[in-house]
Amino acid sequence: MTVLLEMKERIKLIYSKSEAFIVPAIKFLLAFIVFNTLNGRMGYMTRITDMKIVLIAALACSFLPLGLMVLMAAVFSLMHMYALSMEVALVGLCMYLVMYLLFFRFSPKDSLVVVLTPLLFSLKIPYVVPIAVGLLCGPSSLVSVGCGIAVFYLLRTVIDSAPNIRTMGEDEILEKVRMMVESILGNKAMLVMIAAFAITVLAVYLIRRMSVDYSWTIAMVAGAMINVVLLLIGDLLYDVNLSVGSVLLGSLLAIVVAKVVEFFRFCVDYSRTEKVQFEDDEYYYYVKAVPKMAVAVPTKTVKRINTPRSGETRSGASRQSGRSVDVERTAPDRSGSRNVPRNGAGAQNREARKGQRSMTVGKAERPQEPDDNLEGYEEWP
């Protein structure tokens, strides 16, 4: 576990140092995958299936806000639909407009969910979505999940209906529109998925916010079970032909992915939970403090000894001529250190963290004194 925690701290350090490069790179990669998947599944307009167009679009998305990636993905799909049939593009445009005008005002910042949901559906791992969204986002994100599912089923309907549409004549405008609208509205699988995922997101969100121990784990498992049960009920009632095996396997995979998300986002040690009570002029506080699990990343120290001289100071870093000894403290566990209440619990927390800090051995460091003003120490890059 310590190895994993150290790895997490290293990743956080790397991310904090190179965030300006990593975020655009991730956005570029995501946009590239989305546009390539669209071109691969649809591909009716050959002009935009060219890799140069995809690379340019992905490059633009990497530097612009995430909302633009959603817009460009919508434009790509509409262009493919237009190449297939103008009526299909019209129905697609109407559906996108309805989603944007009615639903995006509730969760405009969850545009990533709208892009990821159809992508994960096409990669056959859709059951990760409601659990991950419930753990990381708020209840308004269920709207984005619903929109993502609707987009996926719209695109699937277009792909499935493409052979029929190609055989229809150009004067059969109304028939094409009617066929598309009836296929989308009558798609019971889509409605069952939207209902099941929305309820799962809400359930996971409510459970993980409870103040019980292991609330995140309980939320994940309960969310997966609720999702499976709702999908099976929907399959029984509406006969949507869901594969039970894939639902169960997908839910297990979703729990594994959610566990990884929990490790990075909410890694706490329930065995060191502290409950304190204190009051001020206005309120009486009942506080439950659960410390985060973190270890300091071991750092290298360089000890240079030139000529032996006397007069080394206690503070360690001496610039006296002849001897320079660099004593480097490892990064103390500063997670929540400034938020520690100034009462008896603070001393207990500091004691707990001191024990943790002394785990980073093997390096030249000054032994920690109880009176060290550790919270005031700042390690400058």
Partner 1 sequence: MLSEERIILMTRMASYEQGEGKKNVRIGNYFRSDYIALQTLKAIVCAILVFGILFGLYVLCNFEDLMENLYKMDLLAFAKEVLTYFVAMVGGYAVLVYIVCTWRYASAKKSLKCYYHNLKKLNSLYQDGQ
Report in angstroms the alpha-carbon separations of 30 from 85, 97, 259: 28, 24, 22
Q: Which two tokens stand for residue 139?
A: 């209840």
Q: Which two tokens stand for residue 85?
A: 């049939």
Give how many residues touch partner 1 by CB under 8 A.
Answer: 15
Contact window for partner 1 (CB under 8 A) among 3-11, 96-104, 279-287, 301-309: 96-104
Query: Considering the rule CB under 8 A, would residue 160 count as an interface residue with partner 1?
Result: no
Q: Give the CA dihedral 52, 54, 58, 60, nearest 10 degrees.
A: 60
Report 179-218 residues binding partner 1 (CB under 8 A).
181-182
Give the Cα separation of 320 and 305 in Å (integer): 11
**Binding status of residue 169 toward partner 1 by CB under 8 A:** no
Q: How far is CA 356 from the centre of its chain?
A: 28
Residue 194 tokens, joined: 């939207």
CB 40 to partner 1: min, Å: 29
Identified binder of partner 1 from the candidate list 22, 94, 236, 260, rule CB under 8 A: 94
Q: Which is nearer to partner 1, 101 or 305 (CB)?
A: 101
Read off the DSSP letter of residue 351.
H
Q: Which of 17, 178, 275, 309 binds partner 1 (CB under 8 A)?
A: 178
Q: Which of 105, 265, 292, 366 binds partner 1 (CB under 8 A)?
A: 105
Among 21, 47, 167, 174, binds partner 1 (CB under 8 A): 174
DSSP letters along 202-215, please? HHHHHHHTSSSTTH
Binding of residue 177 to partner 1 (CB under 8 A): yes
| Nearer CB in complex with partner 1: 98/236 | 98
> Taking CB under 8 A as the criterion, which residues in 271-310 touch partner 1?
none
CA 60 – CA 246 distance, rounded (Å):
36
Please state the closest distance from residue 339 (CB atom) to partner 1, in A.
10
Specify whether the CB–CB gap between 135 and 265 falls below 8 A.
yes
Give the interface with partner 1 as residue ranges (CB under 8 A).
91, 94, 97-98, 101-102, 105-106, 174, 177-178, 181-182, 338, 376
